[in-house]
């Protein structure tokens, strides 16, 4: 009741910052007629809020919350997140209110090289329960995914092998995209294809190969695991009307793979970042 969300975020940001607490900054400069009149730099509130050993333990514990704890839904394949869920009853004049909660998730990402911290507070949630991990956590995850997908600086600090990963064996990708990924990762592979549009990885006896994938116009293709743009391109070319929900890769599809395909049918694709 005495700490604002911004103050709480400042504390967690200090943990992400290896113990150095800095003052929240809303304005970095003031301009007049295109000329900078005044700039505002980083102001350190406390150079070390706790010992290095304590900070390391706190960081490990918050990573564990996402890996194995109450925020497992926040895990994704692109970067690690650290944080803590919070579920609190709301007090009133006569004590705690019945079925009234604040749901919170606060954390930072990427956990192994923090760049962003964020707090999400949902007051009196009406849907999906009231726990921080199920109400505020998904909002945090959406924000983090949006930041990850739109911030170039975020990706420049990641090693190439962390930014570009080959799809699992058997998963369908665009032929040219697959060759680009393998070349970027400097993976040697056997390629006997020429003009094929779709291909998948073939792994056998420690060898990597690319095999062609042909789709029949008579049956609904298995789009699961494909990138959104590839899935939409393929399904539209087969005569299906496609709708998307979410971002990332195809997690599920409304039409059963292998079932008879009728041109003009509608297919809904559920996407996920992991």
Q: Give 133-186 pLDDT, tens digit per residue.
A: 889 999 999 898 888 876 655 554 554 444 444 455 445 666 666 677 667 666
Q: Give 66-110 pLDDT, tens digit per residue.
A: 998 889 888 877 788 999 999 999 988 888 888 899 999 999 999
Going by C-alpha positions, the residue among 222, 219, 233, 231 that lies closest to residue 261 is 219
64 pLDDT band, cuts 50/70/90, is very high
Going by C-alpha positions, the residue among 2, 44, 4 that lies closest to residue 22 is 44
* Spatial distance between the Cα atoms of 134 and 73, rounded to a whole number of angstroms: 8
DSSP letters spanning 11-37:
HHHHHHTTT-EE---S-SEEEETTEEE
The packing angle between helices 52-67 and 5-16, to 10°, is 110
Question: What is the predicted pLDDT for the residue at 86?
Answer: 93
Does residue 173 contact residue 167 with C-beta atoms inside 8 Å?
Answer: yes
Q: What predicted TM-score, i.e. pTM, was given to this entire model?
A: 0.56
Does residue 106 contact residue 119 with C-beta atoms inside 8 Å?
Answer: yes
**144 burial type by CB count under 10 A (0-12 exposed, 13-18 middle, 19+ buried):** buried
Domain ranges of the chain: 5-156, 164-272
Least confidently predicted of 1-15, 42-56, 72-86, 168-182: 168-182
User: Which CATH number applies to 164-272: 3.30.10.20, 3.40.50.1010, 3.30.1360.170, 2.70.98.60?
Assistant: 3.30.10.20
Domain 5-156: state its class.
alpha beta
């Amino acid at each position: 009741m005495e700490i604002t969300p911004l103050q709480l975020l400042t504390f967690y940001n200090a943990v992400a910052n290896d113990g150095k607490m800095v003052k929240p900054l809303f304005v970095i400069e003031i301009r007049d007629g295109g000329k900078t009149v005044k700039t505002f730099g980083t102001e350190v509130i406390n150079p070390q809020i706790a010992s290095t050993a304590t900070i390391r333990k706190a960081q490990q514990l918050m990573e564990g919350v996402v890996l194995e704890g109450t925020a497992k839904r926040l895990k994704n394949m692109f970067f690690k997140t650290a944080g803590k869920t919070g579920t609190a009853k709301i007090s009133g004049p006569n004590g705690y209110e019945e079925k009234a909660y604040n749901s919170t998730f606060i954390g930072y990402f990427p956990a192994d090289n923090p760049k962003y911290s964020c707090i999400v507070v949902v007051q009196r949630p009406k849907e999906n329960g009231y726990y921080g991990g199920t109400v505020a956590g998904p909002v945090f995850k959406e924000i983090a995914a949006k930041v990850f997908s739109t911030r170039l600086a975020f990706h420049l600090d990641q090693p190439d092998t962390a930014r570009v990963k080959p799809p699992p064996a058997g998963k369908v990708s665009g032929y040219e995209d697959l060759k680009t990924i393998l070349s970027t990762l400097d993976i040697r592979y056997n390629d006997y294809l020429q003009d094929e549009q779709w291909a998948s990885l073939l792994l056998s006896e420690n060898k990597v190969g690319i095999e062609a994938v042909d789709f029949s116009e008579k049956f609904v293709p298995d789009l699961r695991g494909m990138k959104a743009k590839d899935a939409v391109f393929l399904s539209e070319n087969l005569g299906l009307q496609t709708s998307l929900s979410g971002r990332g890769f195809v997690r599920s599809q409304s039409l059963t793979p292998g079932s008879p395909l009728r041109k003009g049918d509608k297919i809904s694709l559920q996407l996920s970042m992991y």
